[in-house]
A and B are shown apart, each in its own frame.
Chain A
Amino acid sequence: MTRVAVLMFPGTNCMAETADALRAAGAEAEIRRWNHRSAKMSRYDAYVVAGGFAYEDRVRAGAIAAKHAILDVLVEAAALGKPVLGVCNGAQVLVEAGLVPALEPGHVEVALARNRVDGWDGYYCGWVFLSASAERGFLAGLPSNLPMPVGHGEGRFTGEAPLFDRLEAAGQIPLRYANDDGSYACAFPANPNGSDRAAAALCNGAGNVVALMPHPERAAWLYQVPETLPGPWGERRRRARGAELRGPGPGRVLYERLVQGARAVGGLR
């Protein structure tokens, strides 16, 4: 079975639900702390850095966790092509560690800055729709218009405009906030933070390391989808009764893709 480590730091709070979602996606998921011995950590097939508030966001979201020795394991895994996913605060850790977008690996090339869009400033939680465009990596071929919850205060991918041009051209913006008609969302609340190029996720060049701001583990089961959500997933939720509510939600597919990606890499090695 595919073994996935869910990495947590002091202040991480989404590790249990992330591990549950990974198990539902067919993985053997284990929660591992930041001080777990690195030698034992390298045996996993994939890694997820869970969301929350590592080190209580002191100094800056993700900044201190990114300095931990345990990140060496993720650097090694990234180089081996293993899937590495950072969700929300986990995304901030990967960005601050220079694992994403990694045009020059190890260099911090972008920031996840405070939400600032259309007069909105700071924390926002709600549901957004994601447009998928990954051509490689474990998110390749992901269906578009996936609804997903967000909950963050610092989720605005930003950096030098020429760098974002490069990322766009290289296909390193695998998921973007989308409007109802599928177009990229620039306005609040469809774009909840004002991200450059409406980026909801950035990845490295190979697509195996992904920094994702929305929370797929909070949409891994149908019962987690709000009945008021527009579109097919909302309709499915409104029609569901009893055991149907325990069926997969729109976020499950991301973890399924991560597990499939890990199997593919394991098969190749």
Chain B
Amino acid sequence: MRLEFLVRRAGIDTTAETTLHALRALMGIAVDAVEHGTLWRFEIAAEPEILRVKDAIARAACRAGRYVNLNRDVVAWLDDASVQARVAPGQFATDLWITDGDGTDPTAADYFARQLGKPFQQVRRGTLYRLWAEHEDAASARAAALQVAVTRTRRQGLLMNPHAQSVEVLRVWSHRPAEDA
């Protein structure tokens, strides 16, 4: 079972603001907004009481100040459908997950294994960018997001360097019921 836990700034996220500026002003890319955070992907043994597992993960993450700073951050689950309510007609919000290498973190894995016990199998972490922009359809939103993500030349791509990082399109949110592109 896979659970994706998102940690974001409660107030202004300067990285998101700077990314938006870079995309628009330095690269000339039409993007409406950028959101940013740290996304943790947990692999958990099949568990009927999903809410209890989510609660245990959130508690463990928040207990460790290095993973969640409760004075600064807010947390959410990526399957929370509240994003969809914010998507305007014709607009798409594309979730990109960028990891250093494969995103494994032995220190974090050790911590969560101790905190969660037997159900815990693996955790990876990376940076989530949610790009808001108008597109024809989810497929073109996905393609455009990957263009923005993968740095191939000085003028093309920004969010990840393919020689050391990986990128995955997690989801494309649309005004209609969510489409997994």
Q: A66 vs B161: C-alpha distance in the bound complex, in angstroms?
A: 12
B154 touches A111 (CB 8 A): no
Report the minimal beta-carbon distance from B79 to chain A, rounded to whole angstroms: 26
CB of B153 within 8 Å of the partner chain: yes
Residue of B nearest to A158 (CB): B164
Q: Report the stretch among B18-26, B67-75, B138-146 that lies at the interface.
A: B18-26
B159 touches A59 (CB 8 A): yes
- By size class, the interface of chain A is 20 to 34
- B residues 89-109 touching A (CB-CB < 8 Å): 100-101
B18 touches A55 (CB 8 A): yes
Report the minimal beta-carbon distance from B132 to chain A, rounded to whole angstroms: 17
Report the minimal beta-carbon distance from B108 to chain A, rounded to whole angstroms: 11
B154 touches A60 (CB 8 A): no
Q: Which of A60, A68, A69 contacts B161 (CB 8 A)?
A: A60
Chain A facing B: main interface SS: loop
Q: Which of A59, A66, A71, A158 contacts B18 (CB 8 A)?
A: A59
Q: Which of B22, B152, B159, B165 contacts A107 (CB 8 A)?
A: B152
Residue of A nearest to B26 (CB): A67
B165 touches A64 (CB 8 A): no
Report the minimal beta-carbon distance from A82 to chain B, rounded to whole angstroms: 18
Q: A60 vs B162: C-alpha distance in the bound complex, in angstroms?
A: 12
A59 touches B15 (CB 8 A): yes
CB of B53 within 8 Å of the partner chain: no
CB of B62 within 8 Å of the partner chain: no
Report the minimal beta-carbon distance from B113 to chain A, rounded to whole angstroms: 18
Given A56-B14, A67-B154, A108 contacting B22 (CB threshold 8 A) = no
B18 touches A64 (CB 8 A): yes
Report the minimal beta-carbon distance from B101 to chain A, rounded to whole angstroms: 8
Residue of A nearest to B105 (CB): A121
CB of A26 within 8 Å of the partner chain: no
User: Which chain B residues lie closer than 8 Å to A67 at the CB level?
Assistant: 22, 26-27, 154-155, 158
Given A67-B154, A108-B153, A59 contacting B161 (CB threshold 8 A) = no
Q: A63 vs B18: C-alpha distance in the bound complex, in angstroms?
A: 11
Report the minimal beta-carbon distance from A166 to chain B, rounded to whole angstroms: 14
Q: Which of A68, A71, A109, A114 contacts B163 (CB 8 A)?
A: A109
Query: Could you show 18 A-B contacts with beta carbons less than 8 Å apart?
Result: A58-B14, A59-B22, A60-B160, A60-B161, A63-B158, A64-B26, A67-B26, A67-B155, A71-B154, A96-B161, A97-B154, A108-B154, A108-B163, A111-B162, A111-B164, A113-B163, A156-B164, A160-B163
10 A-B pairs with the lowest CB-CB distances in the bound complex, closest first: A111-B164, A113-B164, A111-B163, A67-B26, A111-B161, A159-B163, A58-B15, A58-B18, A97-B154, A64-B22
Residues of A within 8 A of B (CB): 55-56, 58-60, 63-64, 66-69, 71, 96-98, 106-114, 156, 158-160
Residues of B within 8 A of A (CB): 14-15, 18-19, 22, 26-27, 100-101, 151-155, 157-165
